[in-house]
Amino acid sequence: MDAKAMGPKAMGRLTRLAQPGHFMRWSGSLLPWVAGLAVLLLAVGQYMTWFVAPPDYQQGETVRIMYIHVPAAWMAVFFYGTMAVSALGTLIWRHPLADVAQRAAAPIGAAFTLICLVTGSLWGKPMWGTYWVWDARLTSMLVLFLIYCGLLALWRTIEDPNRAARAVAILTLVGAVNLPIIKFSVNWWSTLHQPASILRMGGPTIHPTMLYPLLVMIAAASVLGIALHLQAMRTEILRRRVRTLTILEAERLDAALLAPQAA
């Protein structure tokens, strides 16, 4: 079979898998395995954090906050990127799951951003002598958290689901401008944060005894985020089904009440 014949079939399979009904079936089978893997990675990561990784020669035991702070920061940015891609799916392709994925990702991303800000403040107090400074990286992460909160508020403000989906998608894409600012703020401005230590030209600058526990915790946070997102999407689909059924039932009752009057 040639590539031209396989292309449409492969796209058709992907489209079917992404339909809400198919998604509910395959995600229900996959979710327990993803959740189990997340628990396993978290257990291994926490063991390595406390019993394998050594104290830092400058920061001492305070450095262990890094193993929560860095994965949370990574997931905060990752989920906003997921929302931006989903926003394109809503505006361009009008995919039925795009708005579901975006709405499910928002509270999870906001939670990871809040964890990042709180752990960063706890880390900053002994290192910088204060819980907060208007550092470029800190400020851009705070802006990210406010964007998350704004998107969640906008969903609740607009009653019409279609209008809400389009408005949130547009605002999400506008807010995506903040992502490169978060990433490159340490290079563009003089900040208290150090430059990239893992994803950089020339390889990581962190010692392996600290790098490997950190990578395991990043993997754990990533798998946990996927599990939470799948569950949140399933919950959102069920919520929308209940809303649709409630509206249909209300319309049926209204029609039944009006029928005798018309007669």
pLDDT tens-digit readout, 52-70 = 999 988 888 888 999 999 9
Express each pLDDT in 204-237 by its tens digit: 668 888 889 999 999 999 999 999 999 999 999 9
Q: Which pLDDT tens digit goes with each residue over 113-125?
A: 999 999 999 988 8
Residue with tokens 């999407």: 233
Higher-pLDDT residue of 95, 29 = 29
Burial class of residue 244, CB neighbours in 10 A (0-12, 13-18, 19+): exposed
Summarised one tens digit per residue, pLDDT across range 235-253 is 999 998 888 788 777 777 7
In whole angstroms, give the CA distance from residue 22 to residue 167: 27
Of 195 and 90, more confident:
90
- pTM metric for this prediction: 0.87
Distance from C-alpha of 148 to C-alpha of 127, rounded to nearest angstrom: 28
142 or 253, higher pLDDT: 142
Q: What is the mean pLDDT of the chain?
A: 87
Q: What is the pLDDT of residue 221?
A: 98
CA distance linking residue 108 with residue 83, whole number of Å:
11
pLDDT for residue 200 is more than 60:
no
Tens digit of each residue's pLDDT (9 = 90 or more) over 75-98: 999 999 999 999 999 999 888 899
